[in-house]
Amino acid sequence: MAKPKTIGSSLTVLLAHDLAKSQAYYRDVLGFDVTDWWAERDGLSGLALKLLQAASPEDVRPKAPARGQTIGVDIYAYVDTWAQLEALLAEFREKGAIIAQDIVTYPEGGPWKEFIVRDPDGYSMAFGGVDGRPGGRRSPVRPHIGAVWLTVRDLDRAVRRYAALLDLNVNPKDRQEGGWHLFKLENGTDLLLQAEAGRGDASDVSREERLLQSFTVYTDNIDAAYDFALSAGFEADGGIVRTPGEVSFRIRDEDNHTVIVVQSE
């Protein structure tokens, strides 16, 4: 099993002349999720910033252009495909973003396409990328697990239980029509809990089928995690298993979904 990353995300600090105005621009124009702690788009492992109020106007200093360039770039953001890149530019234009540079294609490095937007304080962000992996991908499926989807009998109870286990906030806006709840995790993935419908009672689904719906999370303290998971209402599926380089245990929820909790040593 892969060793978990130590650093989950990083945030670029930008000092603003008017913090409220900057936060509104990132939220309403650039589509960021903005809180008092950060501004992020596509999770903290996507494009994440820390917007702070400058002590004085002189402290707001966007980067100067590099040698041979005409625009200084403060942040580079990588986009997987050109279709996504062009859709992003269209979204920004529609919302009134400041476009410092339209899409430019550079033959070297891919080829590479990019455009640049600017915020009210003059900070510039370049969005660019090659069209998939250089040389072409063998598969059209990108190597990124975007979501774990679990069907549950009692949606409210499952939301409370997984929110407790993963220390997540329960936002009423994340409850969707059709009987499902979406948690957006910090690493850019999603946990979707859907109320079972059209299959009768959950006893109609075999335990073997439900055990296929499993996922892995990591911890730095396996004993504390074990006790905490049981206190959150999960059932232990055996005890803590210690193997060279790794310690883990399995828990099950009331719908027989399996969660594997791992501590690498």
Domains of the chain: 12-55+63-129 (3.10.180.10), 147-264 (3.10.180.10)
CA dihedral 251, 262, 151, 207 (to 10 degrees): -50
pLDDT at 12 over 90: yes
Per DSSP bridges, beta strands 241-243 and 246-252 are antiparallel
Q: Which range scores top for mean pLDDT: 3-7, 44-48, 51-55, 202-206?
A: 51-55
* Beta-carbon contacts of residue 92 (< 8 Å; ≥ 6 apart): 29, 30, 99, 117
Q: Is 222 left (phi over 0), alpha (psi -120 to 50) or beta?
A: alpha
Length of the chain in terms of residues written: 265
Indicate the helix (H) or strand (E) that contains 232.
none
pLDDT at 205 over 90: no
pLDDT at 126: 97
Q: What is the average pLDDT across 200-222?
A: 61
Determine whether 116 is exposed, middle or buried from the number of CB atoms within 10 Å of its CB (0-12, 13-18, 19+). Answer: buried
Three-class secondary structure of residue 38 per DSSP = coil
pLDDT at 81: 83
Q: Are 206 and 213 in contact (CB under 8 A)?
A: no
Q: What is the average pLDDT across 47-70?
A: 95
| Cα separation, 189 vs 9, whole angstroms | 13
Percent of the chain predicted with pLDDT > 70: 83
More confident position, 159 or 6: 159
pLDDT at 102 over 80: yes
Three-class secondary structure of residue 118 per DSSP = strand
More confident position, 146 or 90: 90
**pLDDT tens-digit map of 110-130:** 688 999 999 999 999 999 988
C-alpha distance from residue 160 to each of 14, 170, 176 (Å): 36, 8, 16
| Cα separation, 28 vs 21, whole angstroms | 10
Q: How many CB atoms lie within 10 A of CB 257?
A: 22
CA dihedral 202, 175, 77, 40 (to 10 degrees): -130
Q: Are 191 and 162 in contact (CB under 8 A)?
A: yes
H helical segments located in the chain? 19-28, 82-94, 155-166, 207-211, 222-231
